[in-house]
Amino acid sequence: MSHTVEWKVRLHLFEDEGTTKARVVLGTGATALIGRGVAHCNPADMYVPELGDELAAGRAMRDLAQQLVNAAERDIEGLGAPGTGSCTRQVAGWPM
């Protein structure tokens, strides 16, 4: 059984007065999920915009990843299988 899909991911970064905001949008064709992340530069720290970009983008992607895991867990439970919870053991044939 073969299955191939392509999901589009767009990452948007916005910086304003030492605060970097990131929004990552995942389009699956059937739905879209949005992850968000923020990074604040301490006024006492050296201004390095790339650090804010990396932190905000990473946090937005982590938010999106958690949303995907939550959606998969709900779908697994909807099939009548027990939820995966926060453990890392294999449940319902899908290792986490």
Tens digit of each residue's pLDDT (9 = 90 or more) over 12-56: 999 988 899 999 999 998 899 999 999 999 889 888 889 999 999
Which neighbouring-strand residues pair with 8? Answer: 27
**Model pTM?**
0.79
Rounded Cα distance between 37 and 35, Å, is 7
* Cα distance between residue 76 and residue 20, in whole Å: 35
Q: What is the CATH number of domain 8-78?
A: 3.30.160.240
Write down the domain spans for the chain.
Answer: 8-78
